[in-house]
Amino acid sequence: MVFSSLLFMFIFLPVSLLLYYICPPGKNFRIRNALLFFISMVFYAWGEPVYFILMLFAVFINYIFAILIYKYEHKAKLLLAISIIINLSMLAFFKYSAFFVSNLNIIFGISIPVPNIVLPVGISFYTFQSMSYTIDVYRKDAPLQKNFLSFGAYVALFPQLIAGPIVRYKSVADQLIYRQHNIDKFSAGIMRFTQGFAKKVLIANNVGLIWDEVFIGNNISTMTAWLGIIAFSLQIYFDFSGYSDMAIGLGRMFGFEFCENFDYPYISKSITEFWRRWHISLGTWFKEYVYIPLGGNRKGKIRTYFNLMIVWFLTGLWHGAGWNFILWGVYFGILLIFEKLFLLRILRKIPPLFAHIYSIFIVVVSWAFFAIEDFTQMKNFLMTMFGINTISFIDSKFIFLFQNNWVLFIMSAILCTPVIKKLKSKKIFAKISPVIFMIIWITGTAFLVSDSYNPFLYFKF
């Protein structure tokens, strides 16, 4: 079940909210937390009727090990290591075993049967989230949660379960015990959810169709290739940030405040800035639990660059079991090292427009690595983008796609900037916003009813 579906919006969500608000909070919100845990399990089991057991196992393991770490301080490091090994082994088996076996077969010329394992939806998100809890308990950065159902609600909370943001326990520990509910917060949640719904259904799905049309085509022109990869760049941003907006909005409806996950990354003037704005919760997770424990920037420049490459290799691998994702991560790792070495100094001196063009160019090219898993297809597509072995600079497909979608591209580009955010501060927006959001709901629902194209890009994570 995904947020941008009629089943979720018109049945699951209203029923969940009704049950939640007629349910008494109980001491420390335990009754409502228990209900949220149950609802979240139903939500997850709806799409994963087998693997929801895996989710329960992850909750149980991290709950037990956090208690053991808290109780037996003299063995805390060993217990933490065991819990991390269990979590990562589970993630590695389900997400990377087929990738690992396939590469073994290629490297050694053997024929080990490649396991056909269906990837559990959201396993990377809930594994990282539950691991952060045990690590923070070990560090004494977060309080121990003794109530199993409340801890289960934290890990499995359906608004951010399958698509993030990755919520650290210490940021919601107090909210699990007490959270505010009022009309203003609930209304803000609806508006934020609607904003994400519009991003996903009205923009991401439609630019995604353009990318699909370009990618499946043969003998395309240079301009068609650029149009396609720009469409994918817009699709992945509006899809990812749209789901994050919906998650944050849903959280507010249930009284939670989640961290922001995207901050207009396409206005960045460096790759360093881009990664401060893109998927913020993932970047924070790798910084707190990988980069800093490795030594961060405290052990000299060479070690800092080595640590950055480790982080970006793992960031690429986290996104998917494929060499293209690793290449994508290493690509950004190298660029970030170059920026630390000298590029940032240059970017600060040149006109902001040129710094922005540099950043957008680098990021758009990177999405070719991310989107195309087959290296031969990737090479051919990149060659076409740069005018090598291409049929022409421009062709009829580009003209057709651009003429039919130029308004969508312009609107998408505008919405990548804080323009609408600034408009929201105007008094007139408050007066017309109910009409705007009603139009979004009607139009978005019509799209869902009439069109079956509603891809879930987070599936591979």
- At residue 107, the pLDDT reads 87
pLDDT-flagged residues of the chain (< 70): 164, 430, 451-461
Exactly one of 74, 279, 319, 356 is catalytic; which is it?
Answer: 319
- At residue 458, the pLDDT reads 57
Task: Say which residue the tokens 């630390």 belong to.
Answer: 340
Task: In whole angstroms, give the CA distance from residue 54 to residue 217.
Answer: 40
- At residue 280, the pLDDT reads 93
pTM: 0.91
Determine the Cα angle at 15 with ends 10 and 20, to 5°. 140
- At residue 380, the pLDDT reads 92
- At residue 461, the pLDDT reads 55
> Could you read off the pLDDT of 127-186 as tens digits, one per residue?
999 999 999 999 998 899 999 999 999 999 988 887 768 888 888 888 999 899 999 999
CB 293 within 8 A of CB 302: no
CB 146 within 8 A of CB 66: no
Query: From the CA atom positions of the chain, what is the Rg in Å?
Result: 23
For residue 143, whether the previous peptide bond is cis, meaning omega lies within 30 degrees of 0, is: no
Q: What is the DSSP letter of 294?
A: T
- At residue 451, the pLDDT reads 64
356 is catalytic: no
- At residue 456, the pLDDT reads 60
Task: In whole angstroms, give the CA distance from residue 218 to residue 215.
Answer: 8
CB 104 within 8 A of CB 112: yes
Record the tokens describing residue 279, joined without a space. Answer: 């998927």
